[in-house]
Amino acid sequence: MKNFLIRHFVADYENTKDIKVRESYGKLAGVVGIISNLILCGFKIGTGLVFNSIAIVADGINNLSDASGSLVTLIGFRLSGKKADAEHPYGHGRIEYLTGLMISVMILVIGVQLLRSSIEKTMDPEPMVFSWITVAVLVTAIIVKFWQTRFNMSVGKTIDSAALKATGTDSRNDVLATTAVLLAIGMEKLCGYPLDGPVGILVAFFILYSGWVLINETVSPLLGKAPDPETVHALKERIEAHEGVIATHDLILHDYGPGRVFGSVHVEVDASVDIQESHDMVDNIEREVYKYMGVLLTIHMDPMDLSDPLTLKVRQQLEEICTRMEEIREIHDVRVVSGITHHNVIFDVMIFRSCKESEAALRERITQELQTYDPKYRTVITIDRSYE
What CATH number corresponds to the domain at position 363?
3.30.70.1350
Candidates 255, 249, 264; CA nearest to 351 is 249
Residue 338 has a CB neighbour count (10 Å cut-off) of 13
Q: With a cut of 80, say whether residue 120 has pLDDT above it.
A: yes
| Core vs surface per residue 36-50: b (16+ CB within 10 A) or e | bbbebbebbbebbee
Q: Same domain, yes or no, for 23 and 88?
A: yes
Span of 124-133, 225-234, 288-297 with lowest mean pLDDT: 124-133
Mean pLDDT of 263-288: 95
Question: Is the confidence at residue 234, as pLDDT, over 90?
Answer: yes
Exposure of 152 by Cβ count < 10 A (0-12 exposed, 13-18 middle, 19+ buried)?
Answer: buried
The pLDDT, as a whole number, for residue 96 is 79
Q: Name the nearest CA neighbour of 290 among 299, 303, 300.
A: 299
Q: Please tell me whether residues 131 and 44 are part of one structural domain.
A: yes
Query: Same domain, yes or no, for 250 and 356?
Result: no
Among the ranges 81-85, 171-175, 335-339, 364-368, which has the highest mean pLDDT value? Answer: 364-368
Is residue 207 located within the same domain as residue 231? no
Mean pLDDT of 312-327: 92
C-beta of residue 163 within 8 angstroms of C-beta of residue 156: yes
CATH of the domain at 171: 1.20.1510.10
**Cβ atoms of 248 and 265 closer than 8 Å:** yes
Asked if residue 167 and residue 48 are part of one domain, the reply reads yes
Last residue of a domain, one of 163, 194, 223: 223
pLDDT at 55: 65
Instruction: State mean pLDDT over 317-321.
Output: 94
As a whole number of angstroms, the distance between CA 17 and CA 8 comes to 19
| Whether the Cβ atoms of residue 336 and residue 345 lie closer than 8 Å to each other | yes
Q: Are 383 and 345 found together in one domain? A: yes
pLDDT of residue 76 exceeding 90, the answer is no
The pLDDT tens digits of the residues spanning 128-165 come to 666 787 788 889 889 999 999 999 999 988 887 877 88
Q: Cα dihedral sign for 13, 219, 74, 260? A: negative
> Average pLDDT, stretch 367-376?
94
Dihedral of CA atoms 80, 84, 88, 90 in degrees, nearest 10, equals: 80
Which of 204, 223, 242 lies at the terminal end of a domain, its last residue?
223
Residues 271 and 342 in one domain: no
| 252 and 343 within one domain | no
pLDDT digits (tens, 9 = 90+) for 153-212: 999 888 878 778 878 877 887 887 778 778 877 877 787 777 778 878 888 888 888 788
Phi/psi-derived region of residue 126, left when phi > 0, alpha when psi is between -120 and 50, beta in every other case: beta
Q: Are residue 233 and residue 259 in the same domain, yes or no?
A: yes
Do 252 and 313 share a domain, yes or no?
no
Count of alpha carbons within 13 angstroms of residue 185, beta-carbon side:
26
Q: Is 123 in the same domain as 194?
A: yes
Q: Last residue of a domain, which of 207, 223, 239?
A: 223
Residue 258 is part of which domain span? 226-303
pTM of the complete model? 0.68
- Whether 96 and 192 map to the same domain: the answer is yes
Number of domains in the chain: 3
